Structure 1
Amino acid sequence: MQALVTEDMARVNETILARMHSPVALIPQLAGHLIASGGKRLRPMLTLAGARLIGYEGTRHTKLAACVEFIHTATLLHDDVVDDSDLRRGKDSANVLWGNKPSVLVGDFLFSRAFELMVEDGSLKVLRLLSHASSVIAEGEVLQLSISNDLETPEESYLQVIEAKTAALFEAATQIAAVVGERPENEEVALASFGRNFGIAFQLVDDALDYSAHQATLGKSVGDDFREGKITLPVILAYRRGSEDERDFWKRTIEDMDQKDGDLGHALALMDKHGAITDTIERARHYGAIARDALAIFQDSKTRQLLNDIVRFCVERAY
């Protein structure tokens, strides 16, 4: 996929570097730390691939892909402050290096740059889609905060969180490709469905990986969600399926945040016992299949095959 969109991604990166510039030296320094820290550029890549899928030959999509990446990066800066995270992509997070206040403010700067790019594009529909995605992401983060440490959270509420905080930007990233290409409504709906369901699958796998030894190979530490008391599907399933003693363990470690040495290992054992990780991945496969099916209306092509493959890769990376 990266090879397919190499030239367009070069233009995206040029836009990102140019729009990160500021006479306030800390802004490009802090933003550049995160943007250059090895991210896959998955969301802007989806915008570029979507444009190629529908045969778009203009240039608007590259600036909008940069806009998508700015929104994503801004949310990461804010997330790390909210979660008090020490690492991002295997490196010290920006809030560890520069503090919480600069991280929040530079996140605001990147949001503002994203909106400048939307306005420059000139399409009210693009502006509506991306601004709506930004507000939905914020709602998802607040909802996640409100259910944090609450083991009675229903699976439906958890899905509502990941649909908002992750899938909304995936959906907008792919849908705007059809908008700039002025494609018929059925193609726009198909690309939006692809992005939304891919985003859900992606986050389900991410949440499963937090409790997987494979996480270390991805430059992340195992058990961050556990240590932060986050309510994710593996925890929900293990708690619901557990005995009374097991539920008491989850209440102590997640609700009361009274964690001791060896608790993470016990949590992993309980998840394995009740198939919590396996079932989370199976749900990801389900949403991944919906995403791939949404592409069926498009003519068979290398781009369509690669989009199908990237969904499969997303799910299978759990193994």
Structure 2
Amino acid sequence: METMEHIVREEEKSVRLDKMLTGLEQDWSRSQVQQWIKDGNVKVNGSAVKTNYKCAVDDVIAITIPELEELDVIPEEMDLDIYYEDGDVIVVNKPRGMVVHPAPGHPSGTLVNGLMAHCKDLSGINGVLRPGIVHRIDKDTSGLLMVAKNDMAHEKLVEQLVNKTVTRKYKAIVHGIIPHDQGTIDAPLGRDPKDRQRMAVVDSGRDAVTHFNVLDRLAAFTYVECQLETGRTHQIRVHMKYIGFPLAGDPKYGPKKTLDLDGQALHAGILGFVHPRTGEYLEFEAEPPAVFRQTLQKLQNIR
């Protein structure tokens, strides 16, 4: 079993325990957390409590996560868009609308389900629900991901992410006309104290840096390329909102009146890394999906 510890911060004071814990990890559902609490897998300052316990500053919360069985992930045949594959690494172009790995509410139809059917030899470092997954992108963000086929590759790819040497460039359409041709957003990210399901720029957050270049200025929108230096949850989406240019179509961080895209206009188009075995630098590029390209074309035609 995996055990993790969390110390309650000032902004989490008086929040219900089940609500606070649900916000710690994107993959935890409220019902799942409530069951853990009822089963005694969650202790506050060493004692079991009820789901409606109100957190206090400096409470030490220990969460014991029950083991997940192999059968929780069922291989599913999918037409995966594989850009590169060898004995150590797979580079796959994830379509928008696809969840990366199984989680409560998404037990099947995920990229991991497809990868399990595509090949049997994936790194086990991240456990049975996230085999081979080194990094991830949001459900409605499309684009390139690197997947490790063994533990050696996994460790070396994660090391590159930690050292900020992986090239990750995204294409995005944002609201508003950005006046600067390029810029850098250096603002720490953490859970939004007002809504634990969202991320926000907070002083107590983890360091997060996004670089951007303007590719085209459109009618009330800007087409940009964003390069990640760090890879925090929802980083580009939150950073662009923070500087006043939220992503078009973003249901969580964008305005209500936006483009009808059924999800944010964000695509992980360029991925580069050093091969974990050969030491060769590899870089791949995938064009945005059809709905992204068509939307961009319409905006370019009416400016």
So what's the TM-score if we normalise by structure 2?
A: 0.27
**Higher RCO (CA-CA < 8 Å; seq separation 6+):** 1
Richer in strand (by share): 2
